[in-house]
Chains A and B, each alone.
Chain A
Amino acid sequence: MTRIVNLSRRKMLKGMAGSGLILGIQFTGRSKAAGEKEKAALAGPPANFAPNAYIAIDQNGLVTLTVHRSEMGQGIRTSLAMILADELAASWPRVTVRQADGDAKYGDQDTNKSRSIRLFYTPIRRAGATARQMLEVAAAQTWHASIRDCRAVDHEVIHIPTGRTLSFGQLAKGASMLPVPTPEKVRLLDASSYRYVGHTIPSIDLVPMLRGKAIFGADVAVQGMRFASIERCPVYGGKAVSFDPKGALAVHGVERVIEIPAAATPTGHLPLGGIAVIANNSWSAEQGRKQLKVQWDLGPNATHDSTAYRAELEVAVRKPGHVVRSAGNFDAAFALSAKKLTAEYFTPYLAQAMMEPPAAFAEASGGKLLVVAPTQDPQGAKTAIVQFTGVPESDVTVRPTLLGGGAGRKAMHDFLCEAAWLAKTLSAPVKVTWSREDDLRHDYYHPMCVQRLEGGLDKNGGPIAWRHRTAFPSLAATFQANATTPDADQLGEGFTDMPYLIPNLRLEAASVPAHMRLGWFRSSMNIPHAFAICSFIDEMAAATGKDPANFIEIYLAGPRKIDFKALQVDYPNYGGSIQDYPVDVGRMQSILQLVVDRSGWGEQLMPRQGRGIAVHRSYLSYAAAVALVQVSPEGELAVQRIDIAIDCGVTVYPDRVKALMEDAVLFGINLTLGSGITVKNGAVEQANFDTYRIVRAHLTPEIHVYIVPTSALPTGAADPGVPVVAPAICNAIFAATGKRIRTLPIDVTELHG
């Protein structure tokens, strides 16, 4: 339900468009508890509603949407404005957006896990519809006409019998005096009348981005600002014992050297601590930093070694783990199987390596703290800043800039806390810039993961037994000491919801200690889980000699929905209700068929050329890909073509969804041919893009994107394309060469003729 209140007469919106119609929207979820709250709220006075997004229409007719979600390339600022413009019957050139500060009044601002459209498609529609109806009433009152004769069309209201019109600007004041229609009186337009949603229009941020005018975190600057570069302990959990600032202070432009305290380990969202060099420009701060002499206590993780850790995880998956889901009797069925398969898969630690490394600006004045930064979660950042600086929440403002990529890294708040702490301590505006080396060496890493799959086929080649064990350090360990129990959300990312219908099934998760600061990543644990499951089903198909697409189709065994209740599994489902967003294997089959039909699947191939296929559900959306690769006898891998399809429900901004699929293809190729993060003596071995390779334009394959036309509820688009790409490529390599890739990134030396 969405409840909308008219705020025009409440002086809540300082600094917004003068007089006119301003609507605050309260969004509530669909849970029972939320429903009860909603009822209670409806009974109370409107002052009880804490709105979470604002629509303003000024007397010039300019419509402003306050966007409370962060823009990191997914196009959310444009998408939300499109939805609003359509339901408001507004004209696109007269709709603008402003970015919201972090504030609980907006509701959820944590822009993560591909859920902005899922959560806000309907609420923004309702907000637009409410405003439209009020403008129509205002026009009817002005004309003393029947409301039935007044209709909002293209930024004005028309009196149908006479053809008279009043513009939104002319009506704004009158509408602001009106009571807000109750939710049941709000009528949404038929989506077929939409002019923007579902169509291609240029992004709101396009021109500033192309002209170098778009403001990212590192671009914020004010007069008198200081520049900080921070030396941190090479090992997570270590601390500075002592430091000598003399060399740094001798560098031209360096003004101060100051120690930022380390938060207690696990540090959660708080800083690692370190020695900050403050200068009058970024370069001097960095040069000064090179002259620092710091003695570190490296702490308990100083022996962490990624090779040894991999071996530890391998041991873990060869033993029984915590049972996540079970059906039938795996052991008995496996023992009776005519053919048995076992495979172990490895995916490394990864760094998001967004093109914009973490950066934050902060200013302290008059007891107030302003932090401006590329954050995915300005409210969460505020909480962390309050905790770290001791400044009361009412005195802290967190303002998101555009994000030069997010991928989960910017959902963490350590870098904002550093800037806030320095601004408060120095009583000066300050900008903290992370170097690329800082970014790669002090990241919140995507967890390393080892998985073991064992499968049994009956004499007809049908899979009758499936055991999947996964071992990875829990993300919970970033926030709670000694957390080793697998995180249910991480397991929910493609592991617990294994889609194949196999009568004897056992899914187990190992408990392992964490030694690195861990965080979210684009598609997160769907990457390892889809890699293993989509590869192993292909291994099974190969063992039977059946066409993999056909084999997948048969053992998805749809149409059906996974009944988690019957399985006694509490599936997190990305926070979405399982009734509204079931795990619908029928949709997986449809999308699989789509890429089979369009990709040339089954058509003739050259020698050492092969096609591979993968299908996966994540973030409540469905994706499938077919990869076409060729491997030269020298072992050179060419990913020649990727066909990728997505079913993400109603598509608001198709061109951006298409771009996100192209993006997913490149991101997925990077998982196969880019670099992983390795650790020796507790320290990350990669430093910059010379050692942490990112795929470049010359590896771009031919890409075909298909978006399933559907009226299903809108679901995620930014993450779900990624997981299918790497397994499709690896399955294609198998088809081309007979070599099975079970380790990412691919060791191309293994691909020799």
Chain B
Amino acid sequence: MIALRINGNAHNVDADPKMPLLWAIRDLVGLTGTKYGCGIGACGVCTVHVDGEARLACKLTVEQVSGKEITTIEGLPETHPVLRAWAAVGVPQCGYCQPGQVMQAAALLKQNPNPADEDIVKTMSAVLCRCGTYPRSLTALKLVSRGKK
């Protein structure tokens, strides 16, 4: 049994210690907001926060994160400014990569409430989207950071 702390709740999961966090979250804990897209840390749709930092759940094993504070998209407060900005701009199309985009954006703002444009572009480049939502996610993230100034 591996002890995981996800969105403030304790979960004991019966997993191989080498199981990627992604599959523990999705299959064992049953939170499906965190998506699979590549399994090699290239697409970013599985982004979660580990101790407040954006990390790719497909590249972390459950033993690496046992005891750490894990936040998934389901754990982000409803009133989070990133969610509000994403809704205001109308970013999602198919919606599949949106949890990854939102979690990347939220982590950046936590680290730096007033990111420069190049930080915004760099952060949003961590998540692949095949619907071409990039112009809108960039706009939305700029909107949040401007709003904070």
Q: Interface residues of B: mostly helix, strand, loop or mixed?
A: loop
In Å, the complex CA distance between A16 and B132 comes to: 36
Given known A-B contacts A355-B43, A663-B132, A211 and B33 have beta carbons under 8 A apart: yes
In Å, the complex CA distance between A663 and B127 comes to: 15
The residue of chain B having its C-beta at the shortest distance from the C-beta of A214 within the complex is B95
- Among A227, A405, A697, A700, max chain B CB count under 10 A is at A697
A206 with B90: CB separation less than 8 A: yes
Contact of B31 among A210, A212, A663 (CB under 8 A): A212
Interface presence of B87 (CB below 8 A) = yes
The residue of chain A having its C-beta at the shortest distance from the C-beta of B26 within the complex is A282
Query: A70 to chain B: closest CB distance in Å?
Result: 11
Given known A-B contacts A355-B43, A403-B94, A213 and B35 have beta carbons under 8 A apart: no
Chain A hits for B108, CB < 8 A: none
Query: B121 to chain A: closest CB distance in Å?
Result: 5
Chain B hits for A212, CB < 8 A: 31-34, 72-74, 99
Given known A-B contacts A282-B23, A356-B35, A663-B131, A697 and B16 have beta carbons under 8 A apart: no
Interface presence of B50 (CB below 8 A) = no
In Å, the complex CA distance between A160 and B40 comes to: 65
Chain B hits for A221, CB < 8 A: 27, 30, 32
Interface presence of B83 (CB below 8 A) = yes
Chain B hits for A354, CB < 8 A: 94, 96, 130
Query: B70 to chain A: closest CB distance in Å?
Result: 14
B:34-76 near A, CB below 8 Å: 34-40, 42-43, 45, 72-74, 76
A694 with B40: CB separation less than 8 A: no
List the one stretch of A91-99, A320-328, A664-672 in contact with chain B.
A664-672
Provide the A203-216 mask, 1 if CB < 8 A to any CB of B, else 0.
10111111111111
- Among A281, A352, A355, A659, max chain B CB count under 10 A is at A355
A697 with B124: CB separation less than 8 A: yes
How many residues on the B side are at the interface (Cβ–Cβ under 8 A)? 56
A209 with B98: CB separation less than 8 A: yes
A72 with B36: CB separation less than 8 A: no
B94 with A404: CB separation less than 8 A: yes
Interface presence of B137 (CB below 8 A) = yes
Query: B10 to chain A: closest CB distance in Å?
Result: 20
The residue of chain B having its C-beta at the shortest distance from the C-beta of A74 within the complex is B93
Provide the A169-210 mask, 1 if CB < 8 A to any CB of B, else 0.
000000000000000000000000000000010110111111
In Å, the complex CA distance between A655 and B87 comes to: 13
Query: A207 to chain B: closest CB distance in Å?
Result: 7
In Å, the complex CA distance between A253 and B137 comes to: 39
The residue of chain A having its C-beta at the shortest distance from the C-beta of B86 within the complex is A210
Given known A-B contacts A219-B32, A689-B40, A667 and B132 have beta carbons under 8 A apart: yes
A283 with B121: CB separation less than 8 A: no
A203 with B31: CB separation less than 8 A: no
Interface presence of B20 (CB below 8 A) = yes
Provide the A66-87 mask, 1 if CB < 8 A to any CB of B, else 0.
0000011111000000000000
Binding site for A on B (CB under 8 A): 15-16, 19-20, 23, 26-28, 30-40, 42-43, 45, 72-74, 76, 78, 83, 86-87, 90, 92-99, 102, 121-122, 124-125, 127-138
Q: List 13 A-B contacts (CB under 8 A).
A: A206-B92, A211-B73, A212-B31, A218-B35, A355-B35, A356-B96, A404-B94, A656-B93, A663-B131, A688-B38, A689-B38, A696-B128, A703-B135
